Structure 1
Amino acid sequence: MTKLLGYGFWNGVARLILRNRLFILFIIAGFTVFLGTQWKYMRFTYTEANLLPDDHEVNLEYNTFLEQIGEEGNLVVFGIKDSSLFTPQILNKWNALSDKINEFDAVALSVSLKDLKLLKREDDPKRFDLKPFIEGEVSSNSEALSLKKKLFNDLPFYEGLIYNKRTGTVRSAVYLRKDIVNTAARKDFIVDDLIPLIEEFEEETGITVHTSGMPYIRTLNSKTIIGEIGWFVGGALVVTSLIFFFFFRSYRATFISMITVVIGVMWAFGFLGLLGYEITVLTALIPPLIIVIGIPNCIFLINKYQQEYKNHGNKIKALQRVITKVGNATLMTNITTASGFATFILTQSSLLKEFGIVASINILAIFLLSLLIIPIVYSYMTPPKERHLKHLGKSWIEGFVNWIEKMVRDRKITIYITTVLLLIVSMIGIYKIKVSGSLIEDMPKNTGFYNDIKFFESEFDGIMPLEVLIDTKRPKGVMKLPTLKRMDELATTISETPELSKPLSIVNLVKYGKQAFYNGDPQYYQLPTSNERNFILPYAQSFSTEAGLLDSYIDSTGQYARMTTFMQDIGTDRMEIVEDNLYNKINILFPEDKFDVTLTGKALVFQKGTTYLINNLIISLSLAILLIAIFMAFMFRSVKMILVSLIPNLLPLLITAGLMGFLGVPIKPSTILVFSIAFGISVDDTIHFLAKYRQELRSSGWKIKRSVYASVREAGVSMFYTSIVLFFGFSVFMISSFGGTVALGGLVSVTLIFAMLSNLLLLPSLLLSLERNIANEEDFKKPAIQILDEADDEEELEKLDKD
């Protein structure tokens, strides 16, 4: 392997690139066109991220629920908190809105004031009839107020579903067809039909309508993700190009770099389509990530080209040395970065696995594009002029490098003490970190739909469904009175839990049946006794699924029952307490030999997924460290060098974790990514520095101090450039409206700045203090990274000059 990436290999690469320039450009163009044809296969997600493996117990339980009952996230609600609702004009318009919504094929069932049904007892023959709550248009204020009084006082069945008795808030519930909930048809209905109708009602009445429900939230959330991709890509291009131009003061260098990363972005979209992966809140980050990570490649290559040309004035020689001297180190830095992302492939979460696959493929692709396009394009251009090389001697850069060198030379003890203090403070902060498994925490907080989520949490105790699936283990077991009583007692426990809403189940309908039997008297809204059941049964037998809700809460065999409650946005710790309390009650009420009872629902699955990811974070990060340690061993053949190189890169991660604790940034799916991403990228600086250090050791006759200071001066400039680009590039993510993306961008940016300082201050200090033994190791003298000496490539240059 050492031979493969040694003198001969990179000489061959340089020869191949510079002798076949047009052919290579043609291949790049052809592959870009091919990937462009794959864009049409890109798909946008229509549901929340599933962070658990497919075979995880929680996923299996959720899938069992879907098989027995069907899709649970099909409820859209819209509500009004305004006393003027119960006036003839407004009430009629509200009812008309319900009629219009009911006309759409996407709607399976609508439960609004206009749709409410009253159970009426009829004795000849014995039956329950359904009567409309509102017949025709409301013509007077007295009629409207009478309807309000009847709703709030006589219909407890609809409390929590349609109205909040305490605040007077009224809402409508629209159940979408289950077969369209996770398809594009859902988006079309909500965006093109439902929202315009609601906006029209608001404009006509001046009343604010609050709209929510998981299908609605999913749709607008996905729409926001799609809209932000353009902002991310555009923002990353603008920021990185401005910084690049500020450093290099060269329009053509900036233009070449931008063209390179734009092609990389086109490839990223193409690979998403080619692999058939959905665009989620994570995969949407890949195109701007390619820009942010690709620009440092361009900086190292162009900076080296200009340095070489400034030294000897030979363009071909400079291009050849760019490929042979920088190519290997840049390859390894991109491999380590890709490895940081590739560790997500091992999490068994399909969401992170797809993110890891596409990100790692595209990181290696942008390396290949940079290595091919930049030397080829520069080979056709005139040599750089004096103004293009001025940045190499900027006084402020010189001042920064001089400060670094002075610190390393004279203040090593200060550096070590500062490192230890930062480490101690960081450990204190780490113990303050909290865990969050909230499904909505990262959603855009400056949007109307997020405010509406909070509205329904306040008025109806939540909007995220938590499901209880009860298997009675026998057909028609649900309608047995003892089973109903058990469910009613569990419903009482759920209602008394502050974070949960009043549940909906077949129990509510049975209670309503008893109330109807007693001529609608609300004091009889309760389960029947054994004797009452015999009297009521003849009436209830005529009443099957006509109410429209029965088939949603009991399966066709009568063996499975569903209880639906809605939960507030609570943290993982509190949810675990709620879950334990419910299971304690379930274990008492439902013996295992007669019942199987499961808590499930999308929000619970998401929270469990967060816990799963956190448990696997250490494994994932450990794998990243192990892989990078292997690369270090391969490149430098020194165990001591592995330790020396890992310390400056682990310290920034600990500092960032400490900051998260002090700033109250919780561990959640979005912030979990920070550590593997930042570690994979920050190691790049270490590799470049140590590659330069190894070269200086050879040329200086193994003089350690001279080699360290020379490495600081030359590698420090490129490391500073790339770190600043990465800092501002990742900062672009902070324009996101998603809290998780903001945290990801800010934390990675901060981590990379600490990583730059650590690699420029702590790493050289460690080399000066500990490297004497390493420098004498025979293995370290023959590393996998080979840097050409001038005498080694003169013959090759003569051949290239002839071409």
Structure 2
Amino acid sequence: MNKLSRLLLAPIKGSEEFAERFLFHHRLPVLLVFAALTLFLGWQAVQIRPDASFVKMIPTSHPYVENYLKNRDDLAGLGNSVRVAVAVREGDIFTAEFQQTLQKITDELFFIPGVDRAALTSIWTPNVRWTEVTEEGFVGGPVIPPDYDGSPESLEQIKLNILRSGQVGRLVANDFRSAIVQVPLFDKHPDTGEKLDYQVLSQQLETLIRDRYQSDNISIHITGFAKIVGDLIEGAAQVAVFFAIALLITLVLLYLYSRSITGTLVPLACSVIAVIWQLGLLKLLGYGLDPYSMLVPFLVFAIAVSHGVQIVNTIALESARGADRWLAARRAFRALYIPGLTALLSDGIGFVTLMVIEIRVIQDLAIAASLGIAVIILTNLFLLPVIMSLLGIGETATRRAREAEQKQHSGWQLLTWFATPSGARVAVVIALMMLLGGVYQGQKLQIGDLDSGAPELRPDSRYNLDNRFITQHYSTSSDIFVVMVSTDKDQCSSFSTLSLVDRFQYYLTNIAGVQSSVSLVDVSKRVTSGLNEGSLKWRTVSRNQLVINASLSYVPAGLMNPSCSLLPVIIFLDDHKAATLNNLTRQIASFAAEYGSDRIQFEMAAGNSGFEAATNEVIGTAQYQMLAWVYAVVGLLCLLTFRSLKTLVCIIAPLALTSILCQALMASFGIGVKVATLPVIALGVGIGVDYGIYIYSKLNTYLVQGMPLQEAYLNTLKTTGKSVAFTGLTLAIGVVLWVFSPIKFQADMGVLLTFMFLWNMLGALVLLPALACLLNCGAKATVTTPPEVKNVVK
């Protein structure tokens, strides 16, 4: 192991010597290059735009989604769509004024770029028809008659046509006080070929529809994936406000900590430069910022501040020991290069492990976070010491550091109790009790959404109020799950197919969470009954194929494909909660296994709830793979750096405890594991490992000099430990403000990140020395500390 470690660390050690000589002997050219790059990447960063795509949000390699993509052209309106409900506050929809408004809104929506115009449905579109059986045979036509003139007679005719169309509870509310326009969307702009801009689309829905037509007697309610994303992007714009507040808080606290203007402004400036570089590089690589990765710049800023504080603190200590500004910065660079690089590589590679989750939005987040870590190496590990070598830390900060080093800190001395056998046992016993509690509570953690509506938004948000309105006034909810029944060509209307689908729909009625379902079978049964004077005893699937063919002379769009080889069963659910979807998919899979065949196959799934079910399955499998990869990568790098299994346990155990407690916290707060929250666990591990590496690296520096563990830990607390405590508290204070965000998932992330910042800090300050004591790490120091690092301590 030692040979392998030395072999792998040799390039890092060589790069340290080269980087130190190059940076500190060519400071002006280095600064000019960094300034030029910052200007260029800053220009790129201001051009970055929100980027969201329906396909990016779903796991395209999952069998459910593959089945949908294979048949998407035949599933009009069952993929990405928006529903616009137009409601009257008083009266009903059968007035000339309302119908004129509904007609105008339908026309406005028809001409919005990105709308699948052929599949758009409303009672004002010709593809919504009524049928009736009379003594002379079938009669029918569009719901809005060609001779409609707004007269009371025409309005009465519309009411009759709606009742005969079967659209009550679907396109028309059960109480006749609102009507829906169903708006299917393409993934790309039809004119430019570029991805559909959901922010623009959401703004168009607001300005062209809600703002223009909502009045004292008309209310507009809009739901759908595109509207959720639009509202998220609108709310995420406030991330900049929270970022500015966090920056201001960090500025104040960092000055109170360092008492140095340069020691405050330079780390903050370098951290902001890291964010600018990250955004600029994302733009150059063709990426944008989707609502879920808009929080990554703050995390990059947080990690950069964490490393910047360590460097400034070390420079202050070196200045207090008599080094001039150039030598102090150089010694700080030399002392922190290997632990800092190890920590940042652990962060970056840990974030890359998010790529195992085959959902594009999470993979894009992984790329954004990894790019941010890469630039921190340049801006905070390289640039910051160079700037400080020119500006210095200041006399006030130097004097304060000298006084702090000589003064006995009662607070720090209390913490050293955990580095004694008795204190260590207490800490470990408490940690084990918390571990058991966390494991027990964590078993209640669920995959997927635990709330109805759009759980990414607040329950009282405009979107969720709109969704609640539609759910309360219509028989068909906005939570749709589609099962695709595939057959041979021209066999979707055969008796054997329809009878099996009829049996399947009856089977669905006994599944909890299912409101209703609709398919080609319902059309055939309704028309067959109509052909027989409306007798209910004929409302069934006829065994006579000629009767079936007659009943399917007109089929609404979306219930069969042109080749009659696909028959969608559209299932309306009470909600899209994880428990509902898990039970539904399990029951459908059981039915398909028992009754499906090579000739008739039941394939899941389309519809927003179908995609949600696929996403839940991917996340449920990938969350443990991701954690395994994160800890494997972080553990390997720590093992190669410190060459000690005991050290590995000391660094990794606090992180693992925090991860388990975080899952328990999510279960307690009703936060499910989903696209928005899954990356938090990996991000928390990446940030927390920095604390452990810096603490143990400094602790080991004293241990190899022969100091007892308790004394070595006291010296560590007075230097690196102080910086870790400050960073953890500062970042927690900055991120806790997210709980006030209008975006619920951002508020959830604020709670989780605050918890992880604090617990990772406490784990590094309390549990790490306790484990080092019990594992007797002070007796054998296996890390070879470079002589120059020893000189820094001396």
Q: Which TM-score band (shorter chain)?
A: 0.7 to 0.9
Q: Pairwise mapping of residues 339-488 of structure 1 onto structure 2 (< 5 A)?
A: 339-381=349-391, 384-386=394-396, 389-390=399-400, 398-406=409-417, 408-409=419-420, 411-437=423-449, 440-459=454-473, 460-474=475-489, 476-488=490-502
Q: Deviations over 1:137-195 (max 9, x none)?
A: 4344x8756754x367x426213322343x44532233335465894366545522565
From the superposition, tell whether residues 461 and 535 of structure 1 become closer, same or farther in structure 2 (CA, over 3 Å): closer
**2:182 paired residue number:** 174
Counterpart in the other structure of 1:801? none
Q: 1:641 aligns with which of 642, 647, 657?
A: 647
**1:232, 1:288 within 8 Å by CA — same for their partners in 2?**
no
Q: Does 2:765 correspond to 1:755? A: no
Amino acid of the residue matched to residue 272 of structure 1? L
The corresponding residue for 1:29 is: 35
Structure 2 distance, partners of 1:119, 1:267, is 62
The one of 602, 605, 610 aligned to 1:604: 610
1:652·1:755 contact (CA, 8 Å) conserved in 2?
yes
The answer for the alignment partner of 1:776 in structure 2 is 780
Q: Distance in 1 between matches of 2:491 and 2:424?
A: 76
Pair 583,326 (structure 1): closer, same or farther in 2 beyond 3 Å: closer
* Higher mean C-alpha deviation, range 377-386 or range 105-114: 105-114
Query: Which one is further off, 669-678 or 88-97?
Result: 88-97
- State the Cα distance separating 1:505 from its structure 2 match: 3.4
Q: Which aligned pairs between 1:331-346 and structure 2 lie closer than 5 A?
A: 331-346=341-356
Deviations along 1:226-249, whole A, 9 cap, x unmatched?
x24433533442333233233223
Distance change >3 Å, CA 287–CA 187, structure 1 → 2: closer
How many angstroms does 1:128 deviate by?
4.6
After TM superposition, list the pairs within 5 Å mapping 1:36-51 onto structure 2: 36=42, 38-39=44-45, 40=47, 44-47=51-54, 49-50=56-57
Q: Is 2:130–2:165's contact at 8 Å kept on the other side of the alignment?
A: no
1:248 aligns with 2:258: yes
CA drift of 1:292 comes to 0.9
How does the TM-score come out when normalised to structure 1?
0.85
- For residues 234-281 of structure 1, give each alpha carbon's deviation from its aligned partner in whole angstroms, at most 9, with x where no partner exists: 344233323323322333333222221221111111222233334323
Distance 1:7 1:336, change over 3 A: closer
Alignment partner of 1:592: what SS? coil
Figure out how many residues of one structure are paired with residues of the other and give that number: 770
- Contact (CA 8 Å) 2:487, 2:600: kept in 1 or not? yes
Q: CA 1:347 to 1:497, structure 2 compared with 1: closer, same or farther past 3 Å?
A: closer
CA RMSD of aligned residues (A): 3.6
Moved more, 106-115 or 390-399: 390-399
Report the Cα offset of residue 363 of structure 1.
0.8
Quick check: 2:77–2:184 contact (8 Å CA) kept in 1?
no
TM-superposed deviation, 1:638: 1.9
Aligned equivalent of 1:734, options 735, 739, 747: 739
Match of 2:770 among 765, 783, 787: 765
> Counterpart of 1:258?
268
Q: How does 1:73-112 map to 2 (within 5 A)?
A: 73-79=79-85, 80=87, 82=89, 84-86=91-93, 88=95, 90-98=97-105, 100-101=107-108, 104=111, 106=115, 107-112=117-122
Partner of 2:211: 199
For residues 520-557 of structure 1, the C-alpha deviation after alignment (integer angstroms, 9 at most, x for no partner) is x69699457466955983x975x5x7xxx43x332221
Whole-Å separation in 1 of the counterparts to 2:434 and 2:82: 50
Secondary structure (helix, strand or coil) at the match of 2:456 reads coil
Secondary structure of 1:283's match?
Answer: coil
Q: Does 1:161 align with 2:170?
A: yes
Partner letter of residue 728 of structure 2?
S
Tell me how far apart the structure 2 counterparts of residues 708 and 186 of structure 1 sit (CA, whole Å): 54
- Which position in structure 2 is the counterpart of 1:269? 279
Structure 1 window deviating more from structure 2 (745-754 vs 655-664): it is 655-664
Between the aligned partners of 1:177 and 1:288, the Cα distance in structure 2 is 33
1:708 aligns with 2:713: yes
Task: Say whether residues 1:790 and 2:791 are aligned partners.
Answer: yes
Structure 2 CA distance for partners of 1:5 and 1:183, relative to 1, 3 Å? closer
**2:339/2:694 contact within 8 Å kept:** yes
Asked if the contact 1:36/1:270 (under 8 Å) is kept, the reply is yes
Q: What's the offset of the Cα at 1:93?
A: 3.9
In structure 1, what is the Cα distance between the partners aligned to 2:308 and 2:198? 44
Q: 1:578: which partner in 2?
A: 584
User: Structure 2-normalised TM-score?
Assistant: 0.86
Matched residue type, 2:585: E
Query: Structure 2: how far apart are the matches of 1:210 and 1:253?
Result: 52
- Letter aligned with residue 463 of structure 1: S
CA drift of 1:286 comes to 1.6
Aligned residue for 1:212, secondary structure, equals strand
Name the SS of the counterpart of 1:555 in structure 2: coil
The alignment partner of 1:175 has SS state of strand
Give SS of 1:312's match.
Answer: coil
Identity %: 15
Name the SS for the 1:598 alignment partner. Answer: strand
Task: Tell me which residue corresponds to 1:557.
Answer: 563
Greater displacement, 509-518 / 410-419: 509-518
Post-superposition offset of 1:295: 0.5
| Matches of 1:751 and 1:393, distance apart in 2 | 32
Structure 1 residue runs without a partner (length 5+): 794-803
How many Å apart are 1:502 and its aligned residue?
A: 3.4
Distance in 2 separating the partners of 1:491 and 1:737:
40
Q: Deviations over 1:730-751 (max 9, x none)?
A: 4354344333332233223212
The question of whether the paired residues in 2 share the 8 Å contact of 1:437 and 1:611 is answered with: no
Helix, strand or coil at the partner of 2:179: strand
Give secondary structure in 1 for the equivalent of 2:214: helix
| TM-superposed deviation, 1:38 | 4.6
Distance 1:444 1:250 in 2: 42
The DSSP-based 3-state class of the residue aligned with 2:343 is helix
> For 1:637-666, what per-residue CA distance to the aligned partner results, in whole angstroms no more than 9, with x for missing partners?
222222233223322223323333334333
Q: What CA distance in whole angstroms lies between the structure 2 residues aligned with 1:789 and 1:530?
A: 91
Q: Give 1:24 shift.
A: 1.3
- Aligned partner of 1:506 in structure 2 is 520
Shift of 1:345: 2.4
Q: Distance in 1 between matches of 2:547 and 2:764?
A: 81
1:323 aligns with 2:337: no
List per-residue Cα deviations over 1:265-319 (Å, max 9, x = no partner).
Answer: 1111122223333432332222111111110111011111111112215222211
Whether contact under 8 Å (1:73, 1:465) holds in the other structure is no
Match of 1:800 in 2: none
**2:446–2:578 Cα contact (<8 Å) kept:** no
The question of whether the paired residues in 2 share the 8 Å contact of 1:164 and 1:170 is answered with yes
Distance 1:645 1:792 in 2: 22
State the one-letter code of the partner of 2:444.
K
Amino acid in structure 2 at the alignment position of 1:157: G
